[in-house]
């Protein structure tokens, strides 16, 4: 019986310590997450941010696709907007619709006239997320730090695809 109580006690202690960041560690975590979010959005660091990858593209260029199943830049922007917006709503505590579809459905094809609106919407979602993370409570930051890191990685991955498409077609500076 004593060994079971010891094991339970140690388990509780380890579990409590796993999420027990001090305020200094939380501020470092917040700063790191904000840096990742901004680097994948607007800050030119050692890789290209999404805003730069989309900058100056015409709707025709954004819709260009090769002959394979690869996505166009417009489809990538649609996909990023969908998932970033879903994650943002959840972060804010808003109700989010159940998504029972296939991930492929998030790669919507925009009309020519919707391209600029799509770019502005992704930018707006990213701006709002950055502000909310900067102002988030410590509890919220602890709860969401992995999701925020994953969303930044997701953003960087697809931004790399956008840059590849631009370079492949001679649309990169």
Three-class SS string for 108-165? CCCCHHHHHHHHHHHHHHHHHHHHHHHHCCHHHHHHHHHHHHHHHHHHHHHHHHHHHH
Please report the pLDDT score of residue 129 as a whole number: 96
CB distance 69 to 104 below 8 Å: no
Please report the pLDDT score of residue 22 as a whole number: 78
Give the other-Cβ count within 10 Å of 17's Cβ: 9
Could you state, in order of their start, the residue ranges of all structural domains in the chain?
A: 22-168
Q: How many residues are listed for the chain in this entry?
A: 173
Residue by residue, pLDDT tens for the chain (173 residues) are 454 434 444 333 334 444 566 778 888 999 999 999 999 999 998 899 999 999 999 999 999 999 998 999 999 999 999 999 999 999 999 998 888 778 788 887 777 778 989 999 999 999 999 999 999 999 999 999 999 999 999 999 999 999 999 999 999 98
Give the other-Cβ count within 10 Å of 78's Cβ: 22
Residue (of 133, 147, 149) closest to 92 by Cα position: 133
Long-range contacts of 63-70 (CB under 8 A, 24+ apart): 63/109, 63/110, 63/112, 63/115, 64/165, 64/169, 70/161
CB distance 61 to 102 below 8 Å: no
Please report the pLDDT score of residue 20 as a whole number: 60
Please report the pLDDT score of residue 23 as a whole number: 78
The CATH number of the structural domain formed by 22-168 is: 1.20.120.450
Contacts of 88 (CB under 8 A, 6+ apart): 125, 128, 129, 132
């Amino acid at each position: 019986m004593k060994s079971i109580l010891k094991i339970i006690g140690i388990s509780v202690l380890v579990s409590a310590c796993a999420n027990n960041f001090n305020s200094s560690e939380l501020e470092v975590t917040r700063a790191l997450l904000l840096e990742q979010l901004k680097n994948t959005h607007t800050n030119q660091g050692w890789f290209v941010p999404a805003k730069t990858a989309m900058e100056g593209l015409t709707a025709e260029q954004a819709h260009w696709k090769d002959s394979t199943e690869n996505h166009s830049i417009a489809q990538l922007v649609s996909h990023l907007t969908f998932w970033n917006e879903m994650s943002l709503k959840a972060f804010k505590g808003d109700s989010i619709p159940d998504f029972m579809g296939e991930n492929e459905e998030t790669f919507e094809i925009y009309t020519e006239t919707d391209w600029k609106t799509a770019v502005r919407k992704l930018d707006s979602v990213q701006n709002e997320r950055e502000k909310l993370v900067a102002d988030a409570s410590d509890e919220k930051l602890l709860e969401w730090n992995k999701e925020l890191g994953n969303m930044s990685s997701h953003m960087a991955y697809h931004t790399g695809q956008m840059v590849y498409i631009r370079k492949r077609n001679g649309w990169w500076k």
